[in-house]
């Protein structure tokens, strides 16, 4: 299904440096793709594949920070793939978007990439469904996270990096899926506030990497012990990423 114009909103990301068409009802990008883009260590001239690219938020946030990237995306749902193409064009970014499944990556994407990024669905399909079908597909899956890792490993060039954001309970499965192709895992917990458990995290792993596993100090998103009113209270570091498009390189040192 292709989304009609009247079903879309026009949303600002990175303080308006990026404008994205998104469905008013359905999966809508929030902070996760912005954080994912900030964590990808791509440099100018490199190639990046976004697995499950949705409307293109993560890849286009990355393009807003890093110039001259060769971008590609794979998206299961035709409506979101169409939006990714439209969003790339309206933001003057060249991006190849193919519709297909990670279990059978289209021939047009069967090449090597310097980076693969992914924001897999968080929840198993057996959970309570969303009444909006396209949102349910974006959030729930029968595809294990190990298959996302395997698909990324197949598409990465030697020495290339996988960067993923997902819910913390999926970490053991993701780490177990890394060998033998991927190694040097770095895990950055994303804590909502100082002293709180991190429900999400970012994983980086390198094709052919042999460094030891590292669990990094949490990246804290909000200031204070609790929400204190109808306003945002991001930490300065989170604000730099989510508003100004800064990278997360310091958090991975």
141: confidence class by pLDDT, cuts 50, 70, 90: low
Model pLDDT for residues 4-37, shown as the tens digit of each residue: 999 999 999 999 999 999 999 989 999 999 999 9
Domain assignment of residue 228, given as a range = 5-252
Q: Which helix (H) or strand (E) holds 20?
A: strand 18-23
Distance CA 53, CA 153 (A): 17
**Residues β-bridged to residue 94:** none
- Render 79-141 in DSSP notation, one character per residue: HHHHHHHHHHHHTT--EEEEE-BTTB--GGG-S-EEEEEE----EETTSPPPSSHHHHHHHEE
pLDDT higher than 50, residue 41: yes
Nearest CA to 134 out of 205, 77, 218 is that of 77
- pTM above threshold 0.75: yes
Distance CA 175, CA 25 (A): 34
Q: In the chain, pLDDT over 70 holds for what percent of residues?
A: 91
Q: What are phi and psi of 60, to 5 degrees?
A: -75, -30
Number of structural domains found in the chain: 1
Which carries the bigger pLDDT value, residue 112 or residue 140? 112
Average pLDDT estimate for 58-65: 98
Average pLDDT estimate for 151-157: 98
Model pLDDT for residues 196-241, shown as the tens digit of each residue: 999 999 999 999 999 999 999 999 999 987 776 666 799 999 999 9
Long-range contacts of 105-109 (CB under 8 A, 24+ apart): 105/74, 105/151, 105/154, 105/155, 106/74, 109/49, 109/72, 109/74, 109/155
Give me the helix-helix angle, 57-65 and 78-90, nearest 10°. 20
pLDDT higher than 60, residue 127: no
Tell me what the pLDDT averaged over the chain comes to: 92
pLDDT for 229 equals 63
Give the CATH number for residue 59: 3.40.50.150
Model pLDDT for residues 157-202, shown as the tens digit of each residue: 999 999 999 999 999 999 999 999 999 999 999 999 999 999 999 9
Instruction: Name every residue whose Cβ is closer than 8 Å to that of residue 228 and which is 6 or more positions away in sequence.
Output: none
Q: Taking a C-beta distance cutoff of 8 angstroms, is the pair 127, 79 a contact? A: no
Average pLDDT estimate for 98-120: 97
Q: Could you give the 3-state DSSP secondary structure of residue 30?
A: coil
């Amino acid at each position: 299904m292709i989304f009609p114009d009247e079903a879309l909103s026009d949303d600002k990301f990175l303080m308006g440096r990026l404008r994205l068409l998104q469905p008013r009802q359905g999966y809508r990008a929030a902070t996760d793709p912005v954080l994912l883009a900030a964590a990808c260590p791509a440099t100018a001239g490199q190639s990046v594949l976004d697995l499950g690219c949705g409307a293109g938020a993560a890849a286009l946030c990355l393009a807003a920070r890093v110039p001259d990237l060769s971008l590609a995306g794979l998206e299961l749902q035709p409506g979101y793939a169409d939006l990714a193409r439209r969003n790339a064009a309206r933001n003057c970014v060249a991006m190849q978007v193919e519709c297909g499944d990670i279990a059978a990556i289209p021939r047009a994407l069967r090449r090597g990439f310097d980076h693969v990024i992914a924001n897999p669905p968080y929840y198993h399909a057996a959970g309570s469904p969303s009444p909006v079908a396209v949102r349910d597909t974006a959030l729930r899956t029968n595809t294990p996270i190990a298959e996302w890792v395997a698909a990324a490993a197949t598409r990465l060039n030697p020495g290339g990096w996988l960067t993923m954001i997902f819910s913390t309970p999926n970490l053991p499965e993701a780490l177990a899926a890394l060998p033998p192709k991927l190694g040097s895992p770095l895990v950055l917990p994303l804590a909502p506030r100082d002293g709180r458990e991190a429900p999400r995290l970012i994983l980086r792993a390198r094709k052919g990497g042999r460094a030891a596993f590292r669990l990094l100090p949490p990246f804290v998103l909000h200031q204070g012990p609790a929400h204190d009113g109808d306003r945002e209270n991001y930490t300065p570091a989170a604000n730099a990423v989510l508003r100004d498009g800064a990278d997360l390189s310091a958090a991975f040192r």
